[in-house]
Amino acid sequence: MPFVGADLQAIPNHALRSYVECREHEILVEDVHNDTNSERRTMMRLEGRNALVTGAAGGIGQAISARLKLEGARVAAADIDPSGVDADAYLAGDLTDANYCDGLPQAAMDTLGGLDILVNNAGIIRRGDITQASDDDYRMSMAINVEAPFRLCRAAIPIMAETGGGAIVNTASCWGLHPGPHHPVYVMSKAALASLTQCLGRDHAHQGIRVNAVCPNEVDTPMLRTGFEIRGLDPETAIGELDCTVPLGRIAQPEDIADVVAFLASDDARYMCGALLEVNGGKPVG
């Protein structure tokens, strides 16, 4: 501020008016910002609703679980070991187990007393050209990124339909919408999930079930950092370099994704069906 510490009586009238107007604007913006934060802290858009979150122990999964709870939902956390998640129920298991997937929505309903929200968040990434991809890379990627959401949706939709509807949010990827280099197995699996989202969004809207997807680009999670370490890179340096490639100036934090998931799960997104929301800070895939 150019007049900080200055004698206001010595400032020309026209400059003083500008200074006062500027300060009033700053105070107004600050008040609006504080009011927005206060409103956000007290929002309970999901009060009384029950949610199942897969991949709940990961970086994005923990943020989603915390956000849904903050909004008033009761959360069942599903993962290999979900015990460290802030949740109301814990449904440990392996998403490559078909029986576990098929029974998970009913288990969540029985534990929580209902099922209004399903978040298919679990996912894995296998890197490299197709000539480097193993059978296990393909099998695991399709099992977790595609087959598990397929089974969970198939089991959850009848439950939701019986109680008047619900919301399903899939964690897809910008890479599934705009294929990038050297990740064909991952891109293929996320493209399948995006297509599934659009199909189900259309097919089950008449039942009051909204199916949408959030599509992140890079997110600062343990999975991303581990990927850098495997390739012999320093995670902090690598993330700093990634930050410089994003128009907003940084890659996403898990909370950036969780906020969009909460929006899609809420009545604020009541007219959205089959939407694929890119959350990328303005950065294209490439």
Structure-model confidence comparison of residues 175 and 9, the more confident one: 175
Q: Catalytic pick from 19, 90, 138, 186?
A: 186
Q: Is residue 105 part of a domain?
A: yes
Question: Does one domain contain both 177 and 254?
Answer: yes
The 10s digit of each residue's pLDDT in 3-47 is 334 444 444 554 444 434 434 444 343 444 454 454 454 479 999
Instruction: Report pLDDT for 43.
Output: 76
Indicate if 185 and 151 belong to the same structural domain: yes
The whole-angstrom separation of Cα 83 and Cα 81 is: 6
Task: Give the list of residues 6+ apart from residue 266 with CB closer than 8 angstroms, or none.
Answer: 45, 46, 71, 167
Q: What is the pLDDT of residue 286?
A: 79
Domain assignment of residue 284, yes or no = no
- Looking at residue 238, its pLDDT comes to 95
Q: Which residue has the tokens 């902090």?
A: 236
**At 87, which helix (H) or strand (E)?**
none
**For residue 87, how many other CB atoms are within 10 A of its CB?**
27
* Count of structural domains, the chain: 2
Do 27 and 59 lie in a common domain? no
Q: What is the pLDDT of residues 122-164, one digit of tens each?
A: 999 999 999 999 999 999 999 999 999 999 999 999 999 999 9
Output 80 or 21, whichever has higher pLDDT.
80
Residues 30 and 98 in one domain: no
Specify whether 20 is located in the same domain as 152. Answer: no
Domain assignment present for 226: yes
* Residue 33 sits in the same domain as residue 52: no
Average of per-residue pLDDT values in the chain:
89
Residue 141 sits in the same domain as residue 229 = yes
Rounded to whole angstroms, the Cα distance separating 207 from 118 reads 15
Same-domain check for residues 129 and 185: yes
Pairing status of strand 89-92 against strand 117-120:
unpaired
1 lies in a domain? no
pLDDT digits (tens, 9 = 90+) for 159-174: 999 999 999 999 999 9
Whole-number pLDDT of residue 17: 47
271 labelled catalytic: no
Same domain, 151 and 23: no
* Residues 203-254 pLDDT 10s: 999 999 999 999 999 999 998 998 899 889 999 999 999 999 999 999 999 9
- Does residue 65 fall inside a structural domain? yes
| 90: CATH | 3.40.50.720
Task: Check pLDDT > 90 for residue 266.
Answer: yes
Give the domain range for residue 18. Answer: 13-37
Residue 24 sits in the same domain as residue 94: no
Per the domain annotation, does 130 fall within a domain? yes
Q: What is the pLDDT of residue 10?
A: 47
| 91, part of any domain | yes
Tell whether 33 and 115 lie within a shared domain.
no
**Do 113 and 169 reside in the same domain of the chain?**
yes
